[in-house]
Amino acid sequence: MRIVVTAKYVPDINTERGFSEGRVVRTAGEGTLNELDENAIEAALRLVEAEREAGRLGAGEGEVVVVTMAGPDGDVALRKAFQLGVDRGIRVSDDALAGSDYFGTAAVLAAAVRKLGEQAPVDLVVTGMAALDGLGSVVPTLLGAELGLPTLNLAKKVELADGVLTITREIDDVTESLTAPLPAVLSVTDGANQPRFPGFKLIMAARSKEIEVWSPADLGFDPAVAGAAGARTETLSAAPRPARPEVELVTDKGEGGVALADFLIRNDLV
């Protein structure tokens, strides 16, 4: 069982986020592993662990590889992934990849998965449900399309038996159960599992663990397909919203509900 997890280095949602020249500002020290990718890592680790427990894998067998497309600051995300227990971390980097749209991102990640597949077969690609900066949720779908693999998205429950993946998902008031044979692409929601806390030994080991850096050339990939040059959208403007007016605050001393109703009615909101 060999699993690739794609991960993204994103601005921490607890910090002030913004744009500069049409690109997301990624300040070193304020970026982090996309929280939703922790669910993907957890799902991958559990699948490998389950195979080991069932005796289908030996103690040293099975691998979880994390791939990210980022500049050197993105190593923070890979270190975090190491802390959770993944075996390998790869960063695909090139200045020409900056400004990639959804398709460029998916094409780069797909090229990395194919390269890993040349080293040894990849059984499964797992992703989080979205990146918390862009919130598009479409890269998993596009990754599946690029790789020509069946894609099961937004799983809340994941089962693997005899090389067949079955998921249950609850989206938009619809509950669906879908199944596909491996190899496949799987995205999991934040309801799929509770990511583990890093252990002390893994935290220590993560500091010095090797991060492999691949260039588009290493992947046999034409960087012009991705990056700003290959993007099918062009950012024209990005501006912070004006601050909201001062809050009107009422402390309830028995009339708080009436005050709330009054606010809605006098502003013609009812």
Which residues, numbered 183-212, are part of the site for another protein (CB under 8 A)?
A: 184, 189-191
Interaction of residue 157 with another protein, rule CB under 8 A: no
Interaction of residue 18 with another protein, rule CB under 8 A: yes
**In the complex, what is the shortest distance from the CB of residue 157 to another protein, in angstroms, rounded to a whole number?**
12
Distance CA(152)–CA(37), nearest Å, equals 16
Q: Tokens 């304020």 map to which residue?
A: 30
Q: Please, which of residues 100-119 interact with another protein by CB under 8 A?
A: 101-103
Closest CA to 172 of 153, 146, 193, 151: 153
Closest CA to 66 of 107, 105, 20, 33: 33
Cis peptide before 223 (omega within 30 of 0): no
* Interface residue with another protein, options 175, 197, 207, 208 (CB under 8 A): 175
b/e burial code for range 223-239 (CB count within 10 A of at least 16 → b): bebbbbebbeeeeeeee
> By CB under 8 A, which span of 17-25, 44-52, 68-76, 77-85 interacts with another protein?
17-25
* Interface residue with another protein, options 72, 121, 163, 181 (CB under 8 A): 181
- The overall longest dimension of the chain from CA atoms, in Å, is 70
* Interface residue with another protein, options 96, 147, 153, 226 (CB under 8 A): 153
Q: Please, which of residues 44-83 interact with another protein by CB under 8 A?
A: none
Distance CA(13)–CA(133), nearest Å, equals 8
* Residue placing its CB nearer to another protein in the complex, 144 or 216: 144
**In the complex, what is the shortest distance from the CB of residue 206 to another protein, in angstroms, rounded to a whole number?**
25
Task: Let me know the angle formed at the C-alpha of 191 by 27 and 63, rounded to the nearest 5 degrees.
Answer: 70
**Both structure tokens of 28:** 């070193």
How many residues at the interface with another protein, by CB under 8 A? 77
Total residues found in the chain within this entry: 270
**In the complex, what is the shortest distance from the CB of residue 154 to another protein, in angstroms, rounded to a whole number?**
6
Q: Please, which of residues 26-45 interact with another protein by CB under 8 A?
A: 36
The one-letter amino acid at 180 = A
Interaction of residue 145 with another protein, rule CB under 8 A: yes
Interaction of residue 9 with another protein, rule CB under 8 A: no
* Residue placing its CB nearer to another protein in the complex, 28 or 263: 263
Interaction of residue 161 with another protein, rule CB under 8 A: no
* Interface residue with another protein, options 180, 202, 203, 213 (CB under 8 A): 180
**In the complex, what is the shortest distance from the CB of residue 142 to another protein, in angstroms, rounded to a whole number?**
5
Interaction of residue 229 with another protein, rule CB under 8 A: no
Closest CA to 81 of 18, 17, 143, 5: 5
* Interface residue with another protein, options 73, 178, 188, 222 (CB under 8 A): 178
- Three-state SS at 220: coil
Closest CA to 65 of 47, 81, 49, 76: 81
